């Protein structure tokens, strides 16, 4: 029947010689009991539904927290990858600079070696030239002496 509080407040019972009509009061009470049982069942169902909904909310909160943690881990991983990339790039640059310096040093050593060889060859050429001149001069001198002795024969 679903009485409202206002219905119950405004309800009038018939009176008989022993007081209110017992059948009427019992009928109203039966209806109130039915309404009360219905409200209790509905209240229990609503509480159960609230509990289920709260579990769902908690489930989604757990998913949200998991996603936030995943995003944080992804962000940290991205930053770490970025940092490692910069470090790797720096290492590549340093290695390239070291190799370039080694190539320059090797080239400088080769230049020094070639200059040394050049100087050695120059000295040997000068020595050969000097020896050759000396040999030629001595041969010339010897020739002069030989021919000068021939003139004496004449």
Instruction: Locate the domains of the chain by residue range.
Output: 5-153
Its pTM stands at 0.47
Q: What is the Cα–Cα distance from 118 to 109, expressed in whole angstroms?
A: 14
Average pLDDT over residues 65-94: 97
pLDDT exceeds cutoff 60 at 66:
yes
Distance, CA of 86 to chain centre: 10
pLDDT bracket for residue 20 (50, 70, 90): confident
Alpha helices in the chain (DSSP H): 5-10, 22-153
According to DSSP, the residues that pair with 19 across neighbouring strands are 16
- DSSP lists the bridge partners of residue 16 as 19
Q: What is the pLDDT of residue 150?
A: 58
Sign for the CA dihedral angle at 96, 99, 101, 103 comes to: negative
Binned at pLDDT 50, 70 and 90, residue 151 comes out as low
Residue 12 — very low, low, confident or very high, per pLDDT cuts 50/70/90?
Answer: confident
Task: Categorize the per-residue pLDDT at 16 as very low, low, confident or very high, splitting at 50, 70 and 90.
Answer: confident
Of 50, 35, 49, the closest CA to residue 4 belongs to 35
């Amino acid at each position: 029947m679903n009485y409202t509080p206002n219905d119950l407040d405004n309800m009038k019972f018939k009176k008989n010689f022993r007081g209110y009509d017992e059948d009427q009061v019992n009928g109203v009470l039966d209806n109130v009991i039915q309404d009360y049982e219905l409200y209790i069942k509905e209240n229990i169902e609503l509480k159960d539904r609230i509990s289920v909904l709260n579990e769902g909310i908690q489930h989604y909160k757990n998913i949200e927290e998991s996603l936030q943690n995943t995003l944080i881990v992804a962000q940290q991983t991205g930053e770490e990858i970025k940092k490692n990339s910069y470090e790797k790039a720096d290492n590549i640059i340093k290695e390239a600079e070291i190799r370039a310096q080694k190539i320059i040093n090797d080239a400088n050593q080769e230049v020094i070696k070639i200059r040394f060889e050049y100087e050695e060859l120059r000295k040997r050429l000068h020595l050969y030239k000097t020896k050759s001149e000396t040999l030629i001069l001595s041969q010339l001198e010897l020739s002069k002496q030989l021919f000068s002795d021939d003139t004496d024969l004449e």
